[in-house]
Structure 1
C-alpha cells in the first residue's frame, strides 16, 4: 500500500517518480528514433562502395573485351551490394558529370579518359555510371556514405539525448512544482484578518494542498481568536466603565482635597488606558472602509486643533493631496504622533511631501529625541519614552506610536523614527498614493 502511495500522482513523490519514468521513456524513444533513422542493421552498400566501383572500372578497362563479361559476372558475385552491370552505349542518357566530395575522389583515381556520370537514383542509393576510354559504360550503386558525427557515435548520441530529455523535463517539472509554491507564498504574503482576503488556493501536489488547508484553518482560528479577544476586552472595558464612574462620584465626597484630586487622576488614567487599548484593538480589525482622503486638509486640521489647545504646531506642505486611506484611522494615527511630539517638545512641525508613488508625513519636534538603541523598541506596544515605572499625564501608556505604526502598515506603508538636527525627533509615516490595504502584523 505504501509503494502504491509513493506513485500517487497527486503527491510530490509521485510526480518525481513519474518524471523519472517519463524521462526514461522519452530517452528510449529518442534513441529508438535515431536507430530507425540510421538503421545500422539494414543491408546497405559498404562505406567504400565508390572505391569498389572504381577498381571494377579499372579492371574491366585493362581486360580484353572478350574477358569483360566473365569479369563483370565475377565482380557482381563478389560485391552483390554494388550491383555492377554493363550498359549498352546510347541506351542511357547521362545527367552530367557528378559533383561532390565523394565522387571527386573517384574521378581522381580513374584519371584521364574516364567519365563519371549520374544515372537515375534508386531509393536511398546513388546509381553511378563510369564511361571507360573505349566508350563502354558500367553502372553501380554506392551507399549514402558514413553516418554523421552525431548518429555515427552511439555513446555521444545517447549522452546528448539524455541531456536534452532530462533538461526539458526538468524545466517542466520545476515549473509545475514551483508554481503552486509561488502562488501559495504570494497568497500568504497578503494574509489578513479583516475578512476580505481570499483563502489560500488549494492546488498543486497533495503536500502543498495539505499546507494550504492547514494555513486556511489556522487563519480561521486566528481570526476567531482575535475576534473573541476584541469582544472580551470590549466587554471588560464596558464593565469597568461603570465602576470607574461610581468611583468618580464617590471621590467627589472625599473631604480631603489632595486625596480627592489624586483619586480622580488615577481614575482618569484608568479610563484613558482602556480607551487606548480598545483603539489599538479596533485598528487590528480594520472595520473602516477605504475612501479618497485629502491628506493635506487632514494634517492642517490636526495642526489647527492642537493650536486651539495652546500648542505650537505648524503644517508645511501642499494645499491639497488626495490618496486612498481610512480617514478616521489616519486622523487618529497622526493625532497620536502629534500628542507625543507636543508632550516632549515646545514646537512641532507637520510636513507633507510626495516622493514618487508615496506620501511622506513627517512629525518633527524639538524635544530630547530618542537614542538609536531604543528607536525600534519604541514602536512596540506599552513601551514608553522614559524609564520611569510610574505613569502620569505626561508619560502616557506607550501605545501612541504602536497604534500609529499599525495604522501605517494597515495602509500598506511604514512608520520609522529619525533624528532631527540639532536635536529632536522625526516620526516618518510613508503611505502609498494608491495602496492595497493589508493587516498590521
Structure 2
C-alpha cells in the first residue's frame, strides 16, 4: 500500500476524505462568520427608544427635583413616541423575572446608581422603567425591546444546521457514488448477451469503480470469445461429421440383411438429429431475430395442424386471435419443441392460450405419465431426459426440447414452468408479457 494512498483523489477514500475536510472548513467558516456577526461578547446596541430613555434618565438624575416636571415636559415634546412619564416611588407596576439584552445594555450605560426594570405593557407597546438615584422612576415606550426566542440567531444553532447540511451532502454523495455503479453493474448482468448488442459498462467514477467496470468488460469479452470459439468448433465438427454420416448412410443402403440395414440407418438418423439439436441449442452467435407483432393464436393453431397432419391428436383451445410482441420463428420453434415432447409421452395433447392482464399464458397439456415434483426443475436443464434409460431409439429425445423452449421464453422476458395435470399428465406453461421489452439473449 502506498504511503498516504488513502488521500488519492481518484479513489473513493480520497474523495470522501476531501469532502469531509471541505465540510469541516466550511463549518468553521460559518461558525466564524456567525460569531463575528452576532458578537456575543459585545453588548447589543439598544434600540432608539432605549437610547432616548437612557439619556432622559441621566438628565433627570442630575437635575434638581424641582426642575424635573419642566424637563419631562420638554422631553415629551422632543420625543413624542417615547411617551415619557414620571412615577412616584413604589407606584409603578414592575414585571418580575423578565430580562433581555436591551435592558442589560441600558444598565451598563446608566451605571450603578440607576435601576432598569420592565413595566407592565401599555397596549402593544413595551414599557421600560428607570429608577433614579433618589427612588423616583421614569418610564417610556421602547420598541423592539421584547425578548427574542432563546434559540433564534444563536451561533450554536447555525453550527448545528451547517453540520447537518455537510453530513447530508456527504451521505448523499457517498450513496450516489456507490449505488449508481452497483445499479449499472446489475443492469449489465441482467442484459448480458453474447451477440455484442449489449453496451459495455461506462468506465467512469472513482478509481475503484473504474477498475471493476474494466474487469467486468474484459470478462464479458473473454466469455463472448470463448462462446464464439465453442460455437465455431461445434459448427466445424458438425460440418465434418455430416459428410461421413452421409457416406455411411449410402453404404448402409447396400447391406443385404434387412434388420441390420434398418438398425444402421436408425443409428445414423439419431446421430444426425443429435448434431442438429445440439447446434440448435448452442447457436448463441446467430443474429437475433427482430421483435414484431405476432398473432399467437394463429401460431398455436398452425403447430396443432402440423402435428395433426403427422397423425398426432393435438387440439388448440383459446381465442381466435391474440396479438403480442414476440420473435415469430423462435416462438414457433419453442412451442414445437414442447408439443414434440408431449406427443412422445402422451396420446392426446391440448394447446391452450389465455391472456391474463399483461401476461400471455401458453399451456401444453398431455395425458402422459407426468414428471415428479423432485425432477421438475432438473428437467429444464440441457441433456436431461424424462426416462432413466441409457439407450435411445426413435421414441426418445436428447433432453434439449425443454431447455431450448425455456431459453426462448427467457429471451422474450417470460418464464417456463412445469405443473401436474389432473388426473394425470403434465402441463408445460410458457408465460410471456403482452407488451414486452425482451432481453437480447437468454
Same fold (TM over 0.5): yes
- Map 1:24-423; keep pairs closer than 5 Å: 24-44=24-44, 57=57, 64-65=64-65, 88-89=74-75, 92-95=78-81, 97=83, 106-108=118-120, 148-150=149-151, 158-159=159-160, 161-282=162-283, 285-423=286-424
Contact 1:116 1:129 in 2 (8 A): no
Instruction: Tell me what 1:79 maps to.
Output: none
Instruction: Tell me what 1:112 maps to.
Output: none
Per-residue CA deviation, residues 167-213 of structure 1 (Å, 9 max, x unaligned), is: 24322332244223323322332121222221112222121122112
1:284–1:373 Cα change, 3 Å: farther
Paired with 1:140 and 1:318, the residues of 2 have a C-alpha distance of 90
TM-score (norm 1): 0.80
Paired with 2:321 and 2:10, the residues of 1 have a C-alpha distance of 56
Contact 1:295 1:322 in 2 (8 A): yes
TM-score (norm 2): 0.80
Paired with 1:341 and 1:117, the residues of 2 have a C-alpha distance of 94
Q: Compute the displacement of 1:285 (Å).
A: 3.9
SS in 2 for 1:2: coil
Contact 2:418 2:427 in 1 (8 A): yes
SS in 2 for 1:106: strand
The number of aligned residues is 407
Q: Compute the displacement of 1:363 (Å).
A: 0.4
Q: Compute the displacement of 1:252 (Å).
A: 1.7
Per-residue CA deviation, residues 372-392 of structure 1 (Å, 9 max, x unaligned), is: 100000000000001111111
Instruction: Tell me what 1:74 maps to.
Output: none
Q: Compute the displacement of 1:163 (Å).
A: 3.3
SS in 2 for 1:184: helix
Contact 1:19 1:169 in 2 (8 A): yes
Per-residue CA deviation, residues 285-320 of structure 1 (Å, 9 max, x unaligned), is: 453222222211111010001001111000011112
Paired with 1:415 and 1:433, the residues of 2 have a C-alpha distance of 15
Contact 1:283 1:329 in 2 (8 A): no
Of residues 267-276 and 164-173 in structure 1, the stretch that sits farther from structure 2 once superposed is 164-173
Q: Compute the displacement of 1:128 (Å).
A: 7.5
SS in 1 for 2:282: helix
Contact 1:88 1:137 in 2 (8 A): no
1:381–1:117 Cα change, 3 Å: closer
1:40–1:88 Cα change, 3 Å: same
Q: Compute the displacement of 1:393 (Å).
A: 1.5
Contact 1:366 1:425 in 2 (8 A): yes
1:105–1:164 Cα change, 3 Å: farther
Per-residue CA deviation, residues 142-167 of structure 1 (Å, 9 max, x unaligned), is: 99687753368766664554334312
Q: Compute the displacement of 1:137 (Å).
A: 7.3
Paired with 1:58 and 1:90, the residues of 2 have a C-alpha distance of 15
Paired with 1:86 and 1:19, the residues of 2 have a C-alpha distance of 63
Q: Compute the displacement of 1:259 (Å).
A: 1.7
Q: Compute the displacement of 1:253 (Å).
A: 2.0
Q: Compute the displacement of 1:216 (Å).
A: 1.5
Per-residue CA deviation, residues 38-86 of structure 1 (Å, 9 max, x unaligned), is: 212334469xx98xx79x9599679843899xxxxxxxxxxxxxxxx99
- Unpaired stretches in structure 2, ≥5 consecutive residues: 85-94, 104-115
Contact 1:34 1:151 in 2 (8 A): no
Q: Compute the displacement of 1:242 (Å).
A: 0.7
Instruction: Tell me what 1:10 maps to.
Output: 10
- Unpaired stretches in structure 1, ≥5 consecutive residues: 69-84, 110-114, 119-125
Paired with 1:257 and 1:381, the residues of 2 have a C-alpha distance of 35
Q: Give me the CA root mean square deviation.
A: 4.0
Paired with 1:401 and 1:283, the residues of 2 have a C-alpha distance of 17
Contact 2:362 2:431 in 1 (8 A): yes
1:89–1:143 Cα change, 3 Å: closer
